[in-house]
Amino acid sequence: MKAGDLLEERYRLVGELGRGGFGVVWEAYDERIGRQVAVKTLRHQGAGSDATDLARLRREVEVLARLVHPNIVLVFDVGEFDADGERFSYIVMELLNGLTLKQALLAGRPQLLQALDWAGQLCAALAAAHAHDVIHRDIKPENIMFAAPDRKLLKVLDFGIAQIGDNRDALTTVGSVIGSTPYLAPERWRGEPGTVRSDLYAVGCVLYEMLTGARPFTATSTYNLMVQHVDEEPPHPGALPAELADLLLALLAKDPADRPADAAEVGRLLQQVSGAVRDLRRQADAAFQAATEGRPAEAVEQLRPLIEKFALAFGPDDGRTLRTCHDLAVALARLDQQVEAYCLLSELLPVAVGALGEDHPDVEAIERRLARTPVPERPCPPGLLDALLGTVNRTGS
């Protein structure tokens, strides 16, 4: 097969999208419907691994026919054909034009709210699959893809090794380890069948990687990776909001019974975290308003703990965190705590310049406020900003 070929008098092959042991995925044009599609093809070669690949292709069709959900790739057609004297099977699916999550993460960690949105979409897809007795068994960043370059809509792919109910066919045999080792639950390493909670363990691994920039377990040999997943606790997931860190550790619990009950519950917990993060700016605005209305003591009391929360949510050098530090300095000055205001501003200024640039309006605002604040008679004690950032600095993040 080659670009330009017409498959089944309907699908005009445009070019290869990917190639692997499973066969070839093509971009194609459906001339009957008039739309771009993806066509996954697999050559029939008889026994062994090729027969297993064919069985997995058929399994994927069987599973995707059950599932219609915005966060799960759609299947449109299935069939077999002959080409160049050989027999092929194929599935026609919706064409996704975005990156895989693995590719997206190579550019760095997403902002927290974006990561929480992606995580919620992943959980929605799994909740739909689990409701139809489908266990994915291979959740990993390579099997999560964005529908378009804007990275707004996420889709779960590759149900080729999915388990349907308590199925015990050749693809789900007890005692065999099937799946991607960096994301495999302890019970799966022991050869036990997949469950809703083993999928959730894989979700925990993916979210850990997305939120911290590293996998929870990083051994380079398969044996040592197995030992880590089965016996070792993951490192505490860095500087994250406490409820989010707790959720990650719960998803990565060794005992499936200690994990959340289902993907819908995880989705609800993620929504709660997202709501709390979104509420931070409202709280900061309310505190700053208190300072402007002649209640600086109230503003200071509210802003001090907010700084650490902003740093945990967005990072210590994020503009939102830096603006909240500046708001605190303003409130301190209005409370006539000029020394602490000056010392905080003097520590804040170089951090803001490094993070935002010399010409940024927030940097200029800090410079103007610092110029209006009396210089203390004694040198400022170090570490004021670090103390406000709290957990972020203590974890080294």
Active-site residues, by number, are 138
Give the whole-angstrom CA distance, residue 111 versus residue 313.
9
Number of H helices, E strands in the chain: 14, 10
- Give the pair of three-digit tokens for residue 208: 């850990």
If one counts every other C-beta atom within 10 angstroms of the C-beta of residue 181, the result is 15
Cα dihedral sign, 110-116-117-123: positive
Both tokens of 308, joined, read 């650490």
Going from the C-alpha of 307 to that of each of 18, 94, 289, 302, 310, the distances in angstroms are 46, 45, 16, 9, 5
d(CA 122, CA 126): 6
DSSP string, 18-80: EEETTEEEEEEEETTTTEEEEEEEEE---SHHHHHHHHHHHHHHHHHHH---TTB--EEEEEE
CA distance 393 to 304: 15
The torsion angles phi and psi of 17, rounded to 5 degrees, stand at -100, -25
Collapsing DSSP states into helix, strand and coil, what is residue 13?
A: strand
Report yes or no: 147 and 155 within 8 Å, Cβ to Cβ: yes
- For residue 309, report the phi and psi dihedrals to the nearest 5 degrees: -65, -40
Q: Which residue has the tokens 């929605």?
A: 124
Cα–Cα distance for residue pair 119/139, rounded to 1 Å? 12
Distances (CA, A) of 354 to 33, 45, 175: 54, 59, 54
Judged by DSSP in three states, 17 sits in strand
